[in-house]
Chains A and B, each alone.
Chain A
Amino acid sequence: MENNKELPKFAVLQLSGCSGCEVSLLNSEEWINNVNLVYMPLVVTTNKIPDGVEVLLVSGGVRTDEDIHNLLKGRSRAKKLIAVGTCALSGGVAQIRDEHPARESFVQSSHRLRMPDMLPHGYPLDKYVTVDLYLPGCPPTPELFMTALKDIEGVKIASIVCQECGRKKLQDMRPTTITGMRSGVTLPDICLVNQGYFCVGTSTRGGCGALCTRPGHACVGCRGPANPYLNKEPSFVLDNLRKVFTRMTDIPEEEINEALESPWLSLFLDQFTDYTQDETLPTRTKDKFI
């Protein structure tokens, strides 16, 4: 809490994002007591990242020239850079997917009054700078922030969401259609896939504590692909999900395929795999992921 000059200098830079990561970070009391917070416009009167920053957290995607400028400046002044949140890793949840018709409507209406100069695409941080650690999540929980800020060697993160969910997968409860919330009944303790939800926890990186699935909401994949799918092309994750639903349900193939095209999947899971299609981006290794 105290702005002790002996503590390591710590900075938080927000690019194009929603502030959710910052708000989550504010709940990590342990952190706030142990750093000298020199830059975080949300809570500190500052306009400039000073030199000699030990750790720089960057949230949000790169959408504007200003984002690029701030990111490069920040990187040059910090020893260690941690990319936090889905946007920083994927370019931004706001873009859904570039080929989506909504994108067109946005670009068309950008002629109306003033609009910021936007890049043709939202980019992840590692398109421009070296990232020392990746912390995906929308947003990452305070606990994950704490883990990321410690020495991560030997830290074990649940490989997939199911590991922390605790809902039981049943052999004989096979839905024939995706009903989602329409049924109006969510049984406790039983796997959401068995109950007709399009839950993607089986392919999604764990560590979140299964915050969504435990109370009964399908996982939408905000932590991105689990380790085996890092650096794999998008179809790899989708194939895995297809297999899960074929094995656990009697939902017709066309319906599964349609669900795999869902915008909420592209919002998270696809976005992470997009980077594998861009040859200018570095390979991300699992030892750099929390």
Chain B
Amino acid sequence: MTTITYPLSRIEGHARVVIDIHDDEVFRADFQAMEMRGFGHYVRGIPAEQITVIVPRICGVCSTAHQVASVKALEDLFGVVPPPLAEEIREVLLLGQLIQNQATSLFIFTMPDRVNASSLFELSESEEGKARQFSLAQIALRIRKIGTDLISLAGGQFIHPIKTTIGGVTSGIPRSKADEMIKAIDELLPVAGELVDIYWDLSLKMGDRIGSWGDDEPTYYLASTEADDFRLNSKRLRLMCPEGRECQNFNPHEYESYLQVEDSAYSYAGISSFRGEIMRANSLARINLTNSFGTPKADSFLKRFVETFGRPAHAIMFFDICRGIELVYALEKARQMLEKDLEHGETEVGYTPRDGVGYGLVEAPRGPLLHHYEVENGLIKSADFVIPTVHNMLAIRRALMVVAKRYVSVDGIDSELGRAVGRVVRAFDPCIACATK
């Protein structure tokens, strides 16, 4: 038996791929999380109202989603309904996070695979290549910064934001700041569209060379956005069956009868499934489950996607392309929302803490994120974090198996395998800090 280990870079956190080969045949291909955060344990016994500051620290990449999910879980628990203006501001916050995350994944994590570089910041050999890469990186970082600026505006700071509090948000978004953002979006939206086009073409070209990323088999898809309303501050979960029909639609508090969450024997991260069946979350799941975005550019990308690749689409390489569509949507939608008055009006309501059970759901960039708390005597008795990356764990494993089989044969191990496992894992954009909460 031969065991090959590939440490992974350009993903969030510490993880590796381990492949066991026996008699020229792939025996096992695992995606292993190599760290342990342990927040599910640490927060037991702490005063419930303090959890909204603590749990964003599970992950600096996904802190926005954790903060909002946490606040929503306590609002559910305390029976408090935030004013509509607060819900709008939270949506702007989550759109900022989607922009930040998709820009990071597209340009910093996965673009280097497409231009054969070790990083976006790497010097390319030719002068032309150098100039092109330099401007590409500059633009990519500026688009990403729109996301972080939006989070700062709607969340107070762009990592571990604080403005979302139980009962609403602490303050609105001043007109002058909103106008500045609109200006920045107007400047960069066309460029972002072009960049997504470039990315789309580069992905397909790479597909011509290496085939799809591996594992095109139909599967279940999980998302909490609606078919005609891509609201990230979401309310219900939806599941698409492999043949492409929406077959389940459920409330956050029913999640345990649909989603099976278990520890895994080969990784420090857990795994979740739809009643034992492999499922996928993240961009491709949302796009498969979306009829329309309600913004022109994103809808035209969506139309092109569906016409070209069908619905549901299953190839792993589509995850990355779908991130591009979502980036365009989030920029357009944020612009639309910033046109409204987000400065005046009620931003928060009071509340009285009580004991009980609460559920908080948001659509994080990696899929539905659910916080589930039980509070007793004002203290957290138990806290469950249902993590988007964990929804994808079985799918990642199956995809790695497909790709490992492709590059391992009686002739030996193709040197492409190392790059191939990186591409597969990055398509799912896993977050290890969250997955080992």
A binding-site residues for B, Cβ under 8 Å: 1-4, 14, 16-24, 26-27, 29, 32, 37, 41-47, 64, 66, 93-96, 100-103, 105-106, 109, 112-116, 118, 138-139, 141, 180-186, 188, 211-212, 214-217, 220, 222, 262-264, 267
29 A-B residue pairs with CB within 8 Å: A1-B121, A3-B119, A18-B59, A20-B61, A20-B63, A23-B104, A23-B159, A24-B158, A24-B159, A26-B104, A27-B145, A41-B10, A42-B9, A43-B119, A43-B121, A44-B121, A95-B42, A106-B42, A112-B263, A114-B266, A114-B267, A116-B36, A181-B170, A182-B351, A183-B350, A184-B348, A188-B171, A217-B163, A267-B54
Taking A16-B35, A186-B170, A263-B50 as known contacts, 8 extra A-B pairs with beta carbons closer than 8 A to each other, sorted by chain A number, are A19-B61, A21-B60, A44-B121, A100-B45, A105-B44, A182-B351, A211-B157, A264-B54
Beyond A45-B10, A115-B36, A139-B60, whether A181 also contacts B165 by CB under 8 A is: yes
5 closest cross-chain pairs (CB), A and B: A20-B60, A184-B350, A216-B170, A106-B41, A217-B162
Expressed in whole angstroms, the minimum distance between the Cβ of B25 and any Cβ of chain A is 25
Contacts of B35 in A (CB 8 A): 16, 64, 116
Residues 316-351 of B, flagged 1 when their CB comes within 8 A of A and 0 if not, give 000000000000000000000000000000001111
- Verify if B279 is at the interface (C-beta below 8 Å from A): no
Distance from B381 Cβ to chain A, minimum over Cβ atoms (Å): 11
The 8 Å CB contact of A2, one of B42, B49, B50, B134, is B134
In the complex, which residue of chain B has the Cβ closest to the Cβ of A263? Answer: B46
In the complex, are the beta carbons of B352 and A181 less than 8 A apart?
no
B223 vs chain A, min Cβ distance (A): 24
Are A185 and B42 touching (Cβ within 8 A)? no
Given contacts A44-B121, A101-B45, A185-B350, contact A19 B7 (CB under 8 A): no
CA distance A220 to B104 in the complex (A): 29
The A interface is mostly helix, strand or loop, or mixed, namely loop
Pair B44/A102 contact, Cβ less than 8 Å: yes
B residues near A263, Cβ cutoff 8 Å? 46-47, 50, 54
Write out, one digit per residue, whether chain B residues 366-399 have a CB within 8 A of any chain A CB (1) or not (0): 0000000000000000000000000000000000
Distance of B12 from chain A, by nearest CB (Å): 5
Residues of chain A within 8 A of B123, CB atoms compared: 2-4
Complex CA distance for A43 and B41, rounded to whole angstroms: 30
Contact A184 B349 (CB under 8 A): yes
CA distance A85 to B398 in the complex (A): 37
Q: Does B13 contact A (CB under 8 A)?
A: yes
Contact digits for B29-41, partner A, Cβ 8 Å, 1 yes 0 no: 0000011111101
| CA of A119 to CA of B264, assembled, Å | 22
Do A180 and B10 contact each other (CB < 8 Å), given the known contacts A1-B121, A43-B120?
no
Chain B residues whose CB sits within 8 angstroms of the CB of A101 once the complex forms: 44-45
Interchain CB contact (< 8 A) of B159 among A20, A100, A113, A183: A20
- List B contacts of A22 (CB < 8 A): 60
B39: nearest residue on chain A (CB-CB)?
A94
- How far apart sit A45 and B11, CA to CA, in the bound complex (Å)? 10
A117 and B157 alpha carbons, distance in the complex (Å): 34
Which residues of chain A have C-beta atoms less than 8 A from B42's C-beta? 94-96, 100, 102-103, 106
Q: Is the CB of B159 within 8 A of A184?
A: no
Given A112-B263, A116-B36; A215-B163 close (CB under 8 Å): yes
Complex alpha-carbon distance, A37 and B108, angstroms: 14
Which residues of B lie under 8 Å from residue A4 when comparing CB positions? 123
Cα–Cα distance between A66 and B350 once the two chains are bound (Å)? 47
Task: State the CA gap A251–B137 with chains docked (Å).
Answer: 53
List A contacts of B58 (CB < 8 A). Answer: 18
Q: Which residue of chain A lies nearest to B117 when distances are taken between CB atoms in the complex?
A: A45
The residues of A that contact B12 with a CB separation of less than 8 Å are 19, 42
1/0 per residue B159-178: CB within 8 Å of A? 11011011110110000000
Chain A residues with CB below 8 A from B282, complex form? none
Task: Check B119–A44 contact: CB distance below 8 A.
Answer: yes
| Other-chain residue from A2, A27, A66, A184 in contact with B168 (beta carbon distance below 8 A) | A184
Contacts of B162 in A (CB 8 A): 211-212, 215, 217
Q: Which of B45, B112, B157, B352 has a CB less than 8 Å from the CB of A182?
A: B352
CA distance A106 to B34 in the complex (A): 17
Smallest CB gap from A3: residue in B: B123
Q: Is B138 at the interface (CB under 8 A from chain A)?
A: yes
The answer to whether B38 touches A215, judged by C-beta atoms less than 8 angstroms apart, is: no
Complex CA–CA separation, A135 to B148 (angstroms)? 21
Measured between alpha carbons, how far is A54 from B353 in the docked complex, in Å? 52
Residues in A neighbouring B145, C-beta threshold 8 A: 27, 29
Q: How far is the CB of A4 from chain B (nearest CB, A)?
A: 7
Q: Are A215 and B170 in contact (CB under 8 A)?
A: yes
CB neighbours of A183 from chain B (8 A): 350
